[in-house]
Structure 1
Amino acid sequence: MLYSMTGFGSARLDADQYSISVEIRSLNSKSMDLSVRIPKVISDHEYDIRNMVQKALVRGKVGVNIELSKNKAQKAKNTINKELLQAYYKELNEAADAVGASKTDLFRLALHMPEVLQQEQEDEETSEADWGKVQPLLEEALQNINSFRSDEGKALTAEIMSYIDRIRILLAEIDKHDPVRMENIRNRIRGHMTELAVSEHFDQNRFEQEMVYYIEKLDIAEEKVRLVNHLHYFTETVYLPEPTGKKLNFIAQEIGREINTIGSKANDSVIQHHVVEMKEELEKIKEQINNIL
């Protein structure tokens, strides 16, 4: 079945100590074009995140945004370097005595001197614990975006198959009209043959050879058979379980070649009209294939 490359999936967890949100968006692209925005605390797992996304989504312009916020009790705490604070305070106090300045803000000044306030760093165990909370949410978001892609793919399948069915109907009309076309061609040739027969330079054998060659050049039987086969192959490919967007694009190109050849060889206004309609349906198919995984 077909999957759209356009999709959205999210997952969220709100707990007493933290909140985590994961959002994934995707658009059509010829390859995997992945951008990832994650908190610093799980930056060591960016490679894991990219692998999970690439494996699940295969192709598309994909954006992943993960946010993790902790409540005040869980945030990194500031510690005070008391020895350094005392040293700064003593120096500031002595400096104030030396110049006769006010000592009102000495403690605040000392507290904000370099390296007095030190932020505790997240340890490795804390980082792994955070990743342990994020990973299942990422998996859930990937499942959700693939469900979205699947639903979009079902709609695309119905639309594309309606275009394929229309091409089949037009091909049947061409097949129905083809004997009339060939008879008209034969009648025109016979008329020219009658005119040439009275010429003293008329070569009967050569004329018959050229007539056979001319009729073969206008024969579209092989093109019709190949087009039927391509349409059948296209339909089979649509319902394969694996991603088929690129393969369908190649088959659509082959369908286009046969339609163009029929149009160039037909030499008939009725068939040309049907060929133009077939080309219109094929363009609709190609437009939709651009969004298929």
Structure 2
Amino acid sequence: MVTSMTGFGRGMAEQENFRITVEMKSVNHRFLECFIRMPRQLSQIEDKIKKKIGHYIKRGKVDVFVTISGEGLISKSLKVDWQLIDSYYDFAKEAKKRYHINQDITLDHLLANSEILTVEETEGNNDELQDLIHDALEQAAVKLHYMRKNEGLELEKDLIYHLQSFKHILSQSNQVSPTIVTKYRERLEKRIKDFADGQIDESRILTEVAVFAEKADVTEELTRLDSHLAQFELALKKDEPIGRRLDFLTQEMNREVNTIGSKGNDANLVSYVVEMKSIIEKIREQVQNIE
């Protein structure tokens, strides 16, 4: 079964105090790589998030965005340094007496020092946050997986269409291949007759034809192409990641076709090679998207 490596999923979970939103998007990649962006205080659960993603995705580059909104995430409290205030107050009274200052000591004088009052921030219930993130992550991962599966169905249809076209051209190539040596012998005999006044050295012709037949024989390459096609179609039915296998088979198909092009001394076969290479390129483009 074909699964695409591109997709998007979004999940949301909320309680009275805050809301969690998780967005996931994936694109092509040789391996599974996860990049997670979320508030710093939740960095300790990053490995758990990656493991959860790994249950649904085996290959691809995945970007995960965790957004937290609401008033329950951080609580603020005022901290007063009363000992420091007492020290400042005692100092102000002593200075007033020593320097004969008539001005009254007010609260504004004491609060002018920023060290007296500080605001402390306390994180909310981390366990509660993690449960909400887990729920939102699960939703996003399921939607992403579903989208990748649906896109994979379209990729599979396109690949099957290209494979059928390739099979048709390969069948024609198999029909042409046995005639190449015969045509070469006919051309060779005609050429010898034209330049040797109709005299034909049969042993020479047999030798030339044998040498040509060995160089131009593409039977093995055509047979291997048949095998690669069968393996390709079999892989499409497997319920597991098949992208790398299909990529390897595509490379092997291209290599066999290149060999046929270099060996097959026939205009029809060369035209078939051009068509097969064009189809292989289309297959390669689609295979790059498969998990």
Q: Give TM class, smaller chain.
A: 0.7 to 0.9
Per the alignment, residue 221 of structure 1 pairs with: 219
Matched AA of 2:78: T
Does the CA-based 8 Å contact 2:192-2:198 persist in structure 1? Answer: no
Does the CA-based 8 Å contact 1:96-1:102 persist in structure 2? Answer: no
Per the alignment, residue 137 of structure 1 pairs with: 136
Per the alignment, residue 118 of structure 2 pairs with: 117
Match of 1:30, SS state, is coil
Does the CA-based 8 Å contact 1:164-1:231 persist in structure 2? Answer: yes
* Pairwise CA distance, 1:183: 2.8
| Aligned mates of 1:282, 1:88 — CA distance in 2 | 84
Per the alignment, residue 4 of structure 1 pairs with: 4
1:10-49 matched pairs, under 5 angstroms? 10-49=10-49
TM-score for both structures, normalised by structure 2:
0.86
* Pairwise CA distance, 1:261: 1.7
Per the alignment, residue 82 of structure 2 pairs with: 83
Per the alignment, residue 247 of structure 2 pairs with: 249
Per the alignment, residue 165 of structure 2 pairs with: 166
| Aligned mates of 1:96, 1:291 — CA distance in 2 | 78
- Give the direction of change, closer, same or farther, for the CA distance of 1:119–1:253 in structure 2 (3 Å limit): same
Match of 2:56, SS state, is helix
Q: Percent identity?
A: 29
* Pairwise CA distance, 1:121: 2.9
Q: Cα RMSD between the aligned structures?
A: 2.9
Does the CA-based 8 Å contact 1:220-1:262 persist in structure 2? Answer: yes
The equivalent position to 2:209 in structure 1, one of 208, 211, 215, is 211
- Give the direction of change, closer, same or farther, for the CA distance of 1:214–1:141 in structure 2 (3 Å limit): same
- Give the direction of change, closer, same or farther, for the CA distance of 1:101–1:291 in structure 2 (3 Å limit): farther
Does the CA-based 8 Å contact 2:13-2:135 persist in structure 1? Answer: no
In the alignment, structure 1 segments of 5+ residues that lack a partner are none
| Aligned mates of 1:95, 1:180 — CA distance in 2 | 117
Matched AA of 1:119: E
Match of 1:77, SS state, is strand
Does the CA-based 8 Å contact 1:53-1:142 persist in structure 2? Answer: yes
In the alignment, structure 2 segments of 5+ residues that lack a partner are none
Match of 2:239, SS state, is coil
Q: What CA deviation, in whole Å up to 9, does each residue of 1:172-221 have, x standing for no partner?
A: 22223334434311211333454687799x97646533421211221222
Matched AA of 2:263: K
* Pairwise CA distance, 1:117: 2.4
Does the CA-based 8 Å contact 2:92-2:105 persist in structure 1? Answer: no
Name which of structure 1's ranges 86-95 and 162-171 shifts more when overlaid on structure 2. 86-95
Matched AA of 2:75: A
Indicate yes or no: 2:63 matched with 1:63.
yes
